[in-house]
A and B are shown apart, each in its own frame.
Chain A
Amino acid sequence: MLSSKNSALESKDNEIFEVEESIAIQSELIKTMATMVNSKAYVNERNQMGCWKQANYHVEQNNKIVDEELSDWESKFFEVDMDDLHELFMAANYLEIESLLNGVAKRVADIIKACMNVEVIRQTFGINNDFAAQQEEEIRKLNSWNHI
């Protein structure tokens, strides 16, 4: 379903997106699927919008090499709650958009860095502590001896 300049992509919720081709091919998956007939991508509407926004930004930036700090635009873009971030991550993974994957991963890494201790990390991401007491103690002991 590709036209010369714009590609029309249908999302899981049957919404049709018109996306410029140069942006669409940022997604490895779309690029591959363009060669196939009758293909459908299973990503929900909201996140697809988000993905293309991001992809658009990157094409505009001429695919500059992503550096250490997230740029201002990206920081605001990723200022979403955990659920959305998670969806974005899954969407980016499925659509195989490298720049978006990097961006989300950085955002998650920054959240982890900002957490004061391990308990806060667990709370933020909703992770249960599945260590036995002895195991946890062993790791803490190894950590405290500063091996690098």
Chain B
Amino acid sequence: MLSFQSSKNLLSLTEDLLVRIYELLAAESDRKSFRLVCREFRRIDTLTRRHLRVIRIEFLPILLRKYPRLQSLDLSACPRIDDGVVSLLLTRVGPGSNSPILGHWAWGLKSLVLSRATGLRFSGLEMLARACPCLESVDVSYCCGFGDREAAALSSAVGLRELNMDKCLQLTDVGLAKIAVGCSKLEKLSLKWCMEMTDLGIDLLCKKCVDLKYLDVSYLKVTNESLHSIASLLKLEVLGLMACPLIDDVGLHFIERGCPSLKVIDVSRCEGVSSSGLIFVVRGHRNLLELKAGYCLSQELSTALLHQMKNLNHLEVIRIDGARISETSFQVISANCKSLVEIGLSKCLGVTNMGIMRLVSACINLRVLNLTCCHSITDAAISAIAYSCRSLVCLKVESCNMITEKGLCQLGSFCLLLEEIDLTDCCGVNDKGLEYLSRCSELSCLKLGLCTNISNKGLSYIGFNCLKIHELDLYRCTGIGDDGLEALSNGCKKLRKLNLSYCNEVSDRGLGYIGRLEELSDLEMRALHKITGVGLEAVAVGCKRLADLDMKHCEKVGDSGFWALAYYSKNLRQINLSYCGISDMALCMVMGNLSRLQEAKLVHLSNCTVEGVELALRACCVRIKKVKLFAPLRFMLSSEILEILHARGCIIRWD
């Protein structure tokens, strides 16, 4: 099979053929190998790369120089990006005048993700907007300090189609006006939590950006007047109004005759909205695809609303969490909304087995079903769901404690596409039930919190069969111990998120098995009284991608574990060490060495002195963003360190 004739090797193929091969290598590890083979292959990699997500800011200039044809750049994982860095990237770099211009990477750039880049300010943004003439999509969400000047900087990107400014807390109507005037081609805009927005800003936006298809004003204190303005958007398809306190039925009346293209509306948690308001929406939009009205209907769905809903034949998603459901509601929905793919009935009153059975026998294409806290549901309903809805992907039945292994047996037999199931607080789940459930080999998210009747045996079935699991919640599953974790680590190699809090039987041996899970990034292990430094060391050494660690109340863990953490866990971003026995030195090492640490909870460290905590805070003050400290320390720490932290934008919470 091997041939070494150099005249006929792969390199004699033309460039487009090599590009064809390269594009079929989807996995990043394969592309990395490809890059290393020879110069020609590296050149192909360079030419073809369109998307880049950078984690280490030190490599940014080199990478940008290498990849001149980028279309999409994601810098959200580089927390220290600031105006100085941007300036560096866009201008000549290097001692001589022969150095290449770095800025040409920006010429073709279409998409820029700068989420959480809190160090960036308007001058940096302005440079970026000017340097990238093809820019179409920008994400500056969670840049909490961003305001009107930043918005003005962004408005110079006239080709902008998509903009995400969630949680840009300082943004006001003035800034929004600049964007509305400058970026008139805007199609998608998200302004969640931009609390300074008022009706004036929304009104101007709707007058200027007539091509808007997607608008999210959730949580804003806008009034019905905004809905009057929004109603004029002829192309609007998706409208987000979640938890808007000042919106009510009167405002929704404007939507009835407006927004002719509306397909998706979310009025969850709007206290002023009732059945009447929903009637207006439904009456005007028979082609509605998604209706999300969770936690706003405290009474029953009125007969008038149900009557209107008979016309929603294309409805795919309905969420009426927290409402009171009657038999009539089930009848109307099952008779008329057969295209439903997602149904949300979390915390609804009146959900019965009969109702569910009627619903699922009609909605056979159901993929997502949320029955959290529908306590009357039993195995009969689960069986009906399993039998009718073979395409089911996500099932949430938290607190439905009458479900037993009989229901899970049906799920394991029929719903083989199931990926996510939430069985938190379902005390009827036992090892037999897990054996049946493990037949769903596509499972990727499994929540078994508070299921006290499961043991290592049940977990071993999961470890054997459910190899695609990403997330596993075993909160307070006191029957789980080291043997269960052994089975888990053997099979579930893709596990990323694991919760073992209060699983008291877990010891260092169990953590040794956890150390084998190379993909693990999120680990919660509160109050594990048997583990010591040895166990923590195993996790630190093995789980190289660990980013979030919560070990509150793990009092027996000694310094050897913390030293290992400080040395190995370079990807750690968040840590909770409250009530742990860490010493001053180890705390200083952890806070100082872990260069990506951004959030730390350090309440009640009994082995630490005030000076020790102060030193640790000084060691990390450059990059730490949020820290939680023991309340009495407020008066014991020097005012200097508190000022430094405050000046750096670090949020301190006192407990």
Which of A101, A143, A146 contacts B36 (CB under 8 A)?
A143
Contact bitstring B29-44, A, C-beta under 8 A = 1, else 0: 0101111111101100
Contacts A113-B27, A145-B56, A148-B52 given: A93-B10 contact, CB under 8 Å?
A: no
When distances are taken between beta carbons in the complex, the residues of chain A under 8 Å from B54 are 147
Q: Chain A interface mostly helix, strand, loop or mixed?
A: helix
The answer, yes or no, to whether A128 is at the interface (CB within 8 Å) is yes
Q: Which of B379-434 contact A (CB under 8 A)?
A: none
Question: What is the interface size of chain A, counting residues whose CB is below 8 A from a CB of the partner?
Answer: 39
> Are A101 and B33 in contact, CB atoms less than 8 angstroms apart?
no
The answer, yes or no, to whether B99 is at the interface (CB within 8 Å) is no
The stretch of A7-15, A51-59, A78-86 that contacts the partner chain: A78-86
> Are B11 and A127 in contact, CB atoms less than 8 angstroms apart?
yes
> Are A113 and B30 in contact, CB atoms less than 8 angstroms apart?
yes
Of chain A, the residue at the smallest CB distance from B36 is: A118
User: A37 to B301, alpha carbons, bound, how many Å?
Assistant: 76
The answer, yes or no, to whether B636 is at the interface (CB within 8 Å) is no
Q: Chain B interface mostly helix, strand, loop or mixed?
A: helix
Contacts A112-B21, A148-B52 given: A126-B33 contact, CB under 8 Å?
A: no
User: A90 to B11, alpha carbons, bound, how many Å?
Assistant: 12
Size category of the B interface is 35 or more
The answer, yes or no, to whether B55 is at the interface (CB within 8 Å) is yes
> Are A125 and B17 in contact, CB atoms less than 8 angstroms apart?
no
The answer, yes or no, to whether A136 is at the interface (CB within 8 Å) is yes
> Are B21 and A118 in contact, CB atoms less than 8 angstroms apart?
no
> Are B37 and A127 in contact, CB atoms less than 8 angstroms apart?
yes
When distances are taken between beta carbons in the complex, the residues of chain A under 8 Å from B304 are none
Contact bitstring A91-131, B, C-beta under 8 A = 1, else 0: 00100000001100110110011010110011111111111
User: A136 to B32, alpha carbons, bound, how many Å?
Assistant: 12
Which of B6, B21, B28, B39 contacts A126 (CB under 8 A)?
B6
> Are A105 and B17 in contact, CB atoms less than 8 angstroms apart?
yes
The answer, yes or no, to whether B3 is at the interface (CB within 8 Å) is yes
The answer, yes or no, to whether A76 is at the interface (CB within 8 Å) is no
> Are B38 and A131 in contact, CB atoms less than 8 angstroms apart?
yes
> Are A122 and B53 in contact, CB atoms less than 8 angstroms apart?
no
User: A87 to B9, alpha carbons, bound, how many Å?
Assistant: 10
When distances are taken between beta carbons in the complex, the residues of chain B under 8 Å from A117 are 33
Which residues from chain A sit less than 8 Å from chain B, CB to CB? 81-83, 86-87, 89-90, 93, 101-102, 105-106, 108-109, 112-113, 115, 117-118, 121-131, 136, 139-140, 142-143, 145-148
Apart from A130-B39, A147-B59, 15 more pairs, CB < 8 Å: A81-B1, A82-B2, A82-B9, A87-B8, A90-B13, A93-B13, A105-B17, A112-B33, A113-B30, A126-B3, A126-B4, A128-B6, A129-B38, A139-B35, A139-B36
